[in-house]
Structure 1
Amino acid sequence: MMDLRNAQMKNIESKFAVKGLDDIRLALKKDARFVGVLNQVDTYFNVMHGRLKIRQEGKKSEIIRYNRPDTKEVRISEYQHIRLPGKDVRLISGLLKKIFGMTVCVKKKRELWIKDQTRIHLDKVKGLGSFVELETVLSGISFSQGTKQHGIILKMLNPSSNQ
């Protein structure tokens, strides 16, 4: 059965292409918690509004719908996600491909780090290179607190100096 617990969520996010991840990893080791390494496959569908993807991670899968501006600056992202039963993911993915068409399939190796309300992703994306992504979850904190926290972590990591 699908898990429908997650209502619409918001986060503050930023993403940077970087030459390498070593300096950022060193900075994270001082003040963040390493969660683990994830191998993810994201399949994006051609929808008219926002974005829609299925994320597969080992035996877990979820469908994620989100809206965010196409900008390089720090931005707000509104999203919903539903966990999918493993046996149904191929069926659902095939159905979505027939309805919307698939735009791209992205394979990545992701290191997940956490500091306060912020998830920090160090990504190696097949065919595209290395990226750093910050997602400050606005759950239980105000927008102002989230913005401040996001800015502190951006300053700590300084990913723009590694582009």
Structure 2
Amino acid sequence: MASNVEIKARARNFSRQLALAARFLAETPEILHQEDTFFVVPHGRLKLRKFSPQRGQLIYYERTDQSGPKRSDYRIVPTSEPDSLRDVLASSLGVLGTVRKTRTVFVHENVRLHFDSVEGLGDFLEIEVVLSRDSGVREGEALVRQWMERLNIRPEDLIEGAYLDLLLQKRTSSA
């Protein structure tokens, strides 16, 4: 499985933080519309990410739910039939929920910066440092912390878990 070190944070000032990333990287980001359907599994998380009717990814990952930099081990399988695959997985496993977002992505070397506008939740940032055979978790954590500083992400901005967890908490508290 591939691995990365990552954080997720509430955006303190989304447009300013997006401008900072653009300035540091001097690259044009990619804008993606994503629909993530999470399925019931005994451990880890399994989601189907749909980009379009003909393009998606089945993503399995394991990570601890903590607010600081954390290692995530993952496997991604592309699919050209995300709707059919979702139907099969929903019937066989059950659906936990769905997250819809617009993601602005910057990629620089082994760093991915995600600026997410999540339906029903608001604006967030993710920093992911892809680990290689030559780089360990400590190096990944150090790089995540450098980007946190560059983008003015404070420890109190960090969140645990996935967007789905936040949506489910929101639903539970409003019921």
Question: Which shows bigger deviation, 149-158 or 138-147?
Answer: 138-147
Aligned equivalent of 1:46: 40
One of 120, 125, 135 as aligned partner of 2:128: 135
Aligned length: 154
Aligned equivalent of 2:24: 31
Pick the structure with more strand per residue.
Answer: 1
Q: TM-score, normalised by structure 1?
A: 0.87
Write the distance in 2 (CA, Å) between the matches of 1:108 and 1:63. Answer: 17
Aligned equivalent of 1:115: 108
* SS of aligned partner of 1:25: helix
Unaligned runs of 5+ in 2: 158-175
Question: Which shows bigger deviation, 39-48 or 151-160?
Answer: 151-160
Pair 1:23–1:140, CA change in 2 (3 A): farther
Question: CA offset at residue 161 of structure 1?
Answer: 7.8
Question: CA offset at residue 121 of structure 1?
Answer: 0.2
* SS of aligned partner of 2:28: strand
Question: CA offset at residue 108 of structure 1?
Answer: 0.2
Pairing 1:76–2:71 present: yes
Please, what is the CA RMSD of the aligned residues?
A: 1.7
Question: CA offset at residue 140 of structure 1?
Answer: 5.2
Give the 4+ runs in structure 1 shifted more than 3 A.
Answer: none
Unaligned runs of 5+ in 1: 1-7
Deviations 1:44-102 (A, max 9, x none): 001110000000113420100000111111100000010012xx322221111112110
Q: TM-score, normalised by structure 2?
A: 0.81
Seq. identity, %: 28
Question: CA offset at residue 130 of structure 1?
Answer: 0.5
